[in-house]
């Protein structure tokens, strides 16, 4: 797979907000990986780390944009996970 290839999302901004809100509620406002308090920027909550939507199984590997394959994670965990995955794929 080409590095940096992006898969076009079928979710619009309304869908991302709706899904994000459901995931944050399901996870009790905590990152799915490190359990840090998180919130999306559009929620206007202060004192929490910025949340990202993350695929459990990457779309490049057949993962889908479904609640079952998405989780809310803090920006730190999402970016660290992304760079570790990219480094391993270049070996």
Of the candidates 10, 32, 29, which has an alpha carbon nearest to the alpha carbon of residue 21?
29
pLDDT, one tens digit for every residue, the chain (91 residues): 444 444 455 666 668 888 888 999 999 999 999 999 999 888 777 888 899 999 999 899 999 888 899 999 999 999 887 666 555 444 4
pLDDT at 41 (0 to 100): 81
Read off the pTM: 0.72
- What does residue 17 show for φ and ψ, rounded to 5 degrees? -65, -45
pLDDT at 83 (0 to 100): 65
């Amino acid at each position: 797979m080409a590095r940096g290839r992006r898969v076009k999302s079928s979710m619009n901004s309304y869908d991302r907000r709706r899904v994000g809100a459901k995931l944050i509620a399901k996870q009790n406002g905590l990152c799915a990986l490190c359990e840090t308090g998180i919130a999306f920027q559009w929620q206007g909550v202060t004192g929490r780390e910025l949340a990202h939507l993350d695929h459990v199984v990457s779309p490049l590997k057949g993962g889908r944009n479904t609640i079952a394959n998405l989780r809310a994670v803090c920006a730190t965990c999402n970016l660290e996970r992304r760079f570790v995955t990219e480094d391993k794929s270049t070996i």
